[in-house]
Amino acid sequence: MKKVYISCYENNDRFYKNTIVNFNRNRNETLFKLIDSNESSFNEIQKGNPYFIELVKQLILKDSEVTIFLIGEETKKRKIVDWEARATMLQNGFLKKSGIIIIYLPDIVEKYGTKIPRSVLPTILQKNLQKPDVFAIETTWEKISKDFFNLEKLISVAYAYAKISEYELDDEYKKENSHNMNI
């Protein structure tokens, strides 16, 4: 059973996260183990620490094997989603990079139809998905909600993709986090 973290804009898109979590919880055999964050973890990280991405990885995503990004209209503007994306891609010592599943929510699909531009994603995801050596799953809420059992297959594929993906963190991250992590 894979360990999964779900990233979303909590104010707008929590319903979709809760739907996935409740489906998983109400099965006889769960699809995944949920890695959840708590508000105090993010409060500690936000206190101006220059190593915030590594702290997100260490405190919240350290056990995650796959991150599901629920992408709605406001998600790109949420700083924490950007941090979670960067932490998902970070590999440092025993902290391993995670697979990525992107689920476009109904408000995005209504706006763009089947031709969803990558500009709706946080910049770090946009840049990495343009690279030929980065692999991620992209789907819509409609497809997931028709058959939640398909999520198990997507999680397995995303997990495999993490092993072969060559994520690249941008220069901003490298400048602010150019040190060896002390765990």
List the domain range (segments joined by +) for residue 94.
Answer: 2-166
pTM, two decimal places: 0.85
Contact call for residues 73 and 12 (beta carbons, < 8 A): yes
Question: What residue type is 24 in one-letter code?
Answer: N
Q: Which residues of 41-65 are buried (b: 16+ CB within 10 A; e: fewer)?
A: ebeebeeeeebbbbbbbbbbbeebb
**39 domain residue, yes or no:** yes
Model confidence pLDDT, tens digit, residues 6-27: 988 877 899 999 999 988 888 7
Number of domains in the chain: 1
| More confident call, 105 vs 94 | 105
* pLDDT surpassing 50 at residue 176: no
Instruction: Read off the pLDDT of residues 42-56 as tens digits, 9 standing for 90 and up.
Output: 556 565 555 666 777
- Specify if 179 maps to a domain: no
**Looking at the predicted structure, is the pLDDT value of residue 68 above 90?**
yes
The answer as to whether 17 is a domain residue is yes
Q: Is residue 158 situated within a structural domain?
A: yes
Domain CATH number, residue 37: 3.40.50.10140
Q: Is residue 176 part of a domain?
A: no
| pLDDT beyond 60 at 67 | yes
The residue type of 102 is I
Residue 178 lies in a domain: no
Look at residue 173 and tell me if it is in a domain.
Answer: no
Residue 29 lies in a domain: yes
- DSSP state at residue 31: S
Handedness of CA 132, 121, 42, 5 (dihedral sign): negative
pLDDT per position as a tens digit, 113-144: 989 999 999 999 999 999 999 999 999 999 99
